[in-house]
Amino acid sequence: MTKITSRKELEQYRKNLQKQKGSKNITISVCAGTGCLALKAQEVVDNFREEIKKHKLSANVEVKEAGCPGFCEKGALVVIHPEEINYIKVQPEDVAEIVSETIVKKKVIPRLLYTDPHSTKPIKKESDIPFYKHQKRILLGNNMKIDSKNIDDYILYGGYSALAKALFDMKPEEVLEEVKKSNLRGRGGGGFPTGRKWETTRNAQSDKKYVIVNCDEGDPGAFMDRALMEGNPHLVLEGLMIGGYAIGANEGFVYVRQEYPLAVENTEIAIKKLEELGLLGKNILGSGFDFTITVHRGAGAFVSGESSALMSAIEGRVGEPRPKYIHTAVSGLWNKPTCLNNVETWANVPLIINNGAAWFQKIGTENSKGTKIFSLVGKVNNTGLVEVPMGTTLREIIYTIGGGVPNGKKFKAVQTGGPSGGCLPEKYLDLPVDFDELYKVGSMMGSGGMIVMDEDTCMVDIARYFVNFLSQESCGKCIPCREGLRHMLRILNDLTTGEATEDDVKLLEELSEVVQLSSLCALGQSAPNPVLSTLQYFRDEYQAHINGECPAKVCKGLLTFTIDAAKCTGCGLCMKNCPVEAITGEKKTVHHINSDICIKCGNCYEVCKFNAVQKATGKQKKVVSVERR
């Protein structure tokens, strides 16, 4: 590769790419994100390459391994441009037909289209699918157009023009001013104004400064950072470089969790390609700006996503938070001023520089600007990544885009903000989602996890789930967090087996307050949120558990399984699926469950085709508390 040494050469390079592109007029984009790869996307790609060769279409058709557009549940996804024909759930076997029918004969294959469950009409174009149509995908929009391993794709769509603009048309102060004016707030959880953070690091006196991308994404149930880092790494890196220039840092780090091997790989490839082109290293584009980027893999610790902990981890030490009397923005990595931002935060930067702060200001609400990517999962029809302007209501996200709750079940709650967020009930469905509105009702934005729960979800169990998660992830440095969470978990466990009293719940509330007020880092400070919000909105469920009942029939200690003699046909399916041989009965006679042996796994309930297995709740005389430790 020849080096690009000036802004003019970059533009020339882009023009050449456009010219080359002109000759290939059909593009088959296959999502090669982790979700689709899990659904055989690689085989789909390989088959396409082979079929295209077989049909001698290589001169005209390009096969692209693209990034995740967010609709992973419907993978493997294939989009054929320019018509934008969107095929879902494509299997390797379907490929030959797609090439001979759609590519050669220009005929659409209805079987592979997305069918709208409401109108039951198949939809041909990607942008007409309700899941995409109601989104505003300024960050994720290019994922399906770009091969994330190919820097040319990014450059073709205008990549690194924002960097060139910053380096040549703007002073560092002006870049900083533009980001400040945009009112961009950090997407990593706290919503701290990005420009202000940059300014602090910029103004700190030091010979050396650092910038870091936080791609730890420790929140269970969230994968937007993964989709961006895997699908469009250059967007994030360009943002980082612009930030480095504005702040006065010449060294950047990308901290990626090792559980995301593809994100690590794609980021490393992106960095290598940049170095080859001369867009990283000394004197970038002849501007005099030097910059290097290093990838650092996290080794699996939720608390290491916290800023001061993350910096310890990069230094090769245990990733525990430290007191922040002095902010990491002033004294961070190796005690040098360090600016850490989330993946999505950095990804917004090139867009702001290219389009201007005024453009960004127009998207979103009064105090939360731009779009936010949510990971919409749980009991919702269309699960996936959803990018919408700040201020979009929960109802629009869950119903219009998400298609509502499946199987005719009733919506119960939506949990936002990850382990440190809260659960919101139905009455808040019309709440416009932004940093401040969520906070007002006892939840938070967090990294953007959005978990939908239906009538089959037990809110006490959910609170227990999060407290269990956080007590395991606490680094153990402060007593309130370590011991407080452990004790809260004990009470929640007791609730799920019907052994807790009203006093226990009072103690739970008190402990919540103590842990909130006296922990060192935000893990402890926010850990009680799921408990407090479920107590606030679903107190009746706590009461029911005290009375020995689990209304959603989830908590094992409060369940009994029996077989209804009138319905049982004696097919024996339940017996076959019982892991502990608790079921007895001869073929074609009524079966029976021995509740002393039953471990309440629910297999029999699920497999019985005659609804003969009954699930009941209510405190038993002899409680087998499976979950208790």
Ligand X SMILES: Cc1cc2nc3c(=O)[nH]c(=O)nc-3n(C[C@H](O)[C@H](O)[C@H](O)COP(=O)(O)O)c2cc1C
Token pair belonging to 299: 């080794």
Q: Which amino acid is at 180?
A: K
Of the candidates 144, 125, 119, which has an alpha carbon nearest to the alpha carbon of residue 28?
144
Of the candidates 282, 206, 216, 212, which has an alpha carbon nearest to the alpha carbon of residue 252?
212
- Taking the least distance from each CB to ligand FES, the nearer of 40 and 136 is 40
574: Cβ contacts below 8 Å, ≥ 6 apart: 563, 583, 591, 603, 604, 607, 608, 612, 613
Among 99, 103, 146, 222, binds another protein (CB under 8 A): 222
Question: Three-state SS string across 600-624, please?
Answer: CCCHHHHHCCCCCEEEEECCCCCCC
Of residues 296-325, which lie at the interface with ligand SF4 (CB under 6 A)? 303, 321
- When asked if residue 417 is in the footprint of ligand FES (CB under 6 A), the reply is no
* Window of 31-39, 419-427, 536-544, 570-578 that interacts with ligand FES by CB under 6 A: 31-39
Strand (E) positions, 477-585? 559-563, 583-584
Among 45, 75, 309, 512, binds ligand FES (CB under 6 A): 75
- When asked if residue 373 is in the footprint of ligand SF4 (CB under 6 A), the reply is no
Q: Which amino acid is at 317?
A: R
199: Cβ contacts below 8 Å, ≥ 6 apart: 176, 180
Please choose which of another protein, ligand FES, ligand X, none residue 301 contacts, taking the beta carbon within 5 to 8 angstroms, the exact cut-off set by kind: another protein
On the 0-12 / 13-18 / 19+ scale of CB atoms within 10 A, 487 is middle
Token pair belonging to 11: 């533009």
179: Cβ contacts below 8 Å, ≥ 6 apart: 194, 195, 198, 246, 349, 352, 357
Taking the complex as a whole, the smallest distance from the CB of residue 229 to ligand FES amounts, in Å, to 13
Whole-number Å distance between alpha carbons of 302 and 472: 9
Site string for another protein, 144-183 (x = CB under 8 A): ----------------------------------------
Whether the link from the prior residue into 323 is cis, omega within 30° of 0, is: no
Please choose which of ligand X, ligand FES, another protein, none residue 29 contacts, taking the beta carbon within 5 to 8 angstroms, the exact cut-off set by kind: none
* Window of 32-40, 115-123, 158-166, 194-202 that interacts with another protein by CB under 8 A: 32-40
- Contact (Cβ atoms closer than 8 angstroms) between residue 452 and residue 378: yes
Looking at 278-361, list the stretches that DSSP marks H as alpha helix, in order from N- to C-terminal side.
307-314, 343-355, 357-361
Taking the complex as a whole, the smallest distance from the CB of residue 57 to another protein amounts, in Å, to 31
**329 — phi, psi (to 5°)?**
-60, -25
- Taking the least distance from each CB to ligand SF4, the nearer of 139 and 575 is 575
Among 57, 441, 522, 623, binds ligand X (CB under 6 A): 522
- When asked if residue 558 is in the footprint of ligand FES (CB under 6 A), the reply is no
Token pair belonging to 555: 């908590």
Among 117, 158, 261, 618, binds another protein (CB under 8 A): 261
Task: Tell me the three state secondary structure of residue 225.
Answer: helix
* Window of 23-31, 428-436, 460-468, 503-511 that interacts with another protein by CB under 8 A: 460-468
Among 4, 10, 28, 31, binds ligand FES (CB under 6 A): 31
Pair type for strands 210-215 and 122-123: unpaired
Please choose which of ligand FES, ligand X, ligand SF4, none residue 342 contacts, taking the beta carbon within 5 to 8 angstroms, the exact cut-off set by kind: ligand X
- Taking the least distance from each CB to another protein, the nearer of 276 and 627 is 627
- Taking the least distance from each CB to ligand SF4, the nearer of 150 and 577 is 577
Q: Which amino acid is at 221?
A: G
Please choose which of ligand FES, another protein, ligand SF4, none residue 69 contacts, taking the beta carbon within 5 to 8 angstroms, the exact cut-off set by kind: ligand FES
* Window of 192-200, 375-383, 387-395, 513-521 that interacts with ligand SF4 by CB under 6 A: 513-521
284: Cβ contacts below 8 Å, ≥ 6 apart: 163, 167, 241, 278, 290, 291
- When asked if residue 252 is in the footprint of ligand X (CB under 6 A), the reply is no
- Taking the least distance from each CB to ligand SF4, the nearer of 506 and 587 is 587
- When asked if residue 117 is in the footprint of another protein (CB under 8 A), the reply is no
In the DSSP assignment, the letter for residue 392 is -
- When asked if residue 297 is in the footprint of another protein (CB under 8 A), the reply is yes
- When asked if residue 35 is in the footprint of another protein (CB under 8 A), the reply is yes
**375 — phi, psi (to 5°)?**
-100, 105
Pair type for strands 371-378 and 449-454: parallel
Please choose which of ligand SF4, ligand FES, another protein, none residue 383 contacts, taking the beta carbon within 5 to 8 angstroms, the exact cut-off set by kind: another protein
Whole-number Å distance between alpha carbons of 505 and 150: 56
Please choose which of ligand FES, ligand X, another protein, none residue 77 contacts, taking the beta carbon within 5 to 8 angstroms, the exact cut-off set by kind: ligand FES
Among 235, 301, 578, 612, binds ligand SF4 (CB under 6 A): 578
- When asked if residue 141 is in the footprint of ligand FES (CB under 6 A), the reply is no
- When asked if residue 72 is in the footprint of another protein (CB under 8 A), the reply is yes
**Residues 246-283: b if buried by 16+ CB within 10 A, e if exposed:** bbbbbbbbbbbbeebebbbbbbbebbebbeebbbbeee
Task: Tell me the three state secondary structure of residue 565.
Answer: coil
Taking the complex as a whole, the smallest distance from the CB of residue 31 to ligand FES amounts, in Å, to 3
- When asked if residue 554 is in the footprint of ligand SF4 (CB under 6 A), the reply is no
Please choose which of ligand FES, ligand SF4, ligand X, none residue 593 contacts, taking the beta carbon within 5 to 8 angstroms, the exact cut-off set by kind: ligand SF4
- Contact (Cβ atoms closer than 8 angstroms) between residue 531 and residue 522: no
- Taking the least distance from each CB to another protein, the nearer of 201 and 468 is 468
- When asked if residue 260 is in the footprint of another protein (CB under 8 A), the reply is yes
- When asked if residue 425 is in the footprint of ligand FES (CB under 6 A), the reply is no
- Contact (Cβ atoms closer than 8 angstroms) between residue 524 and residue 480: yes
Please choose which of ligand SF4, ligand X, another protein, none residue 258 contacts, taking the beta carbon within 5 to 8 angstroms, the exact cut-off set by kind: another protein
- When asked if residue 33 is in the footprint of ligand FES (CB under 6 A), the reply is yes
Q: Which residues bind ligand FES (CB under 6 A)?
A: 31, 33-36, 68-72, 75, 77, 220-221
Positions in the binding site for ligand X (CB under 6 A):
186-190, 192, 214, 216-218, 302-303, 305-307, 340-342, 345, 447, 521-523
Binding region for another protein (CB under 8 A): 34-35, 37-39, 71-73, 75, 217-223, 226, 258-261, 296-302, 304, 313-320, 375, 377-379, 383-385, 415, 418-419, 449, 451, 453, 457, 462, 465-466, 469, 475, 577, 579, 601-603, 607
